[in-house]
Amino acid sequence: MIKNERMTIVHQAEIAHNIYELTLKGELVQEMTPGQFVHVKVGDSFEPLLRRPISIANINKETNEFTMIYRAEGRGTSLMALRQTGNELDVLGPIGNGFPVDACPEGGTALLVGGGIGVPPLYELSKQLNARGIRTIHVLGFQTENVTFYEEQFSALGETHYVTVDGTKGTKGFVTTVLDELNPDFDVFYSCGPLPMLRALEAYYPEKPGYLSFEERMACGIGACFACVCDTTDKHEKDYVKVCSDGPVFPKGVVAL
């Protein structure tokens, strides 16, 4: 159930260029699952009015803390980067369906493919897959080295490959460059990132089950407006889906890419 809470900032740090790691404490954490997101009111005034949707990257139910990783680029996220330990943030969540962890058989292998600010939700997903005895392969794509993060954390969970467009870290190219080289054997793929990447993955693995998480522009975040609507493929029973309330994760083949 979606709830509203003023959560306390227990940690905020810049972990790469304009990339922030923000940990919050509060009761909402008990409801969170991987692939869901929160809708954050970045300041205490009316401006900016709209909340910002940010994925849940790490959940710690024992301490009641969760972590988000976000890029400070526009007005809202830049304001959020100024908030300090001890401040409170107004958080709505957890929102959305999340990744189906049980779609991968126990003892199987999951391929996790992320691009840029689509990488964070894959971290908690990988933790939970590993906890079920599932082997994870991570392929993580970024523009350039100085915006990469969490190499140690992902590597501790499984085989991890970085790829950058300019070749400053890992393989030079796109996530598909690494997938061509690796030709990985896996049971299910999970992905979050820009649309061209999601489109490429669907085309690469037509025979495999796969789940895609979308980062569509949002307004209300709770299914009440139509800001996040996406067309579906003609195979699907509805003409459109709302990414916030029907997603953000969809089985491959549902959203028209």
HSE of 178, CA atoms in CB hemisphere, 13 A = 28
**What does the longest C-alpha to C-alpha distance in the chain come to?**
51
The only residue of 78, 219, 236, 253 in contact with ligand FES, by rule CB under 6 A? 219
252 token code pair: 């491959």
Closest CB to ligand FES among 50 and 103?
50
The only residue of 22, 24, 29, 54 in contact with ligand FAD, by rule CB under 6 A? 54
Assess 35 for contact with ligand FES (CB under 6 A): no
Q: Residues 92 to 121: which contact ligand FAD by CB under 6 A?
A: 117, 120
**Secondary element (H or E) of residue 85:** none
C-alpha to C-alpha distance for 27 and 59, rounded to whole angstroms: 12
74, 65 contact by CB (below 8 A): no
From ligand FAD, ligand FES, none, interface partner of 117 (C-beta below 5 to 8 A by class): ligand FAD
The only residue of 25, 177, 216, 222 in contact with ligand FAD, by rule CB under 6 A? 216
20, 81 contact by CB (below 8 A): yes
The only residue of 244, 249, 254, 255 in contact with ligand FES, by rule CB under 6 A? 244
Shortest distance, position 47 Cβ to ligand FAD, whole Å:
11
Shortest distance, position 133 Cβ to ligand FAD, whole Å:
27
Assess 95 for contact with ligand FES (CB under 6 A): no
Contacts of 80 (CB under 8 A, 6+ apart): 20, 22, 40, 42, 52, 70, 72, 89
The only residue of 80, 218, 241, 249 in contact with ligand FES, by rule CB under 6 A? 218
Q: Give the helix ranges, DSSP H, for 38-87.
A: 75-81
From ligand FAD, ligand FES, none, interface partner of 227 (C-beta below 5 to 8 A by class): ligand FES
What are phi and psi for residue 95, nearest 5 degrees? -115, 145
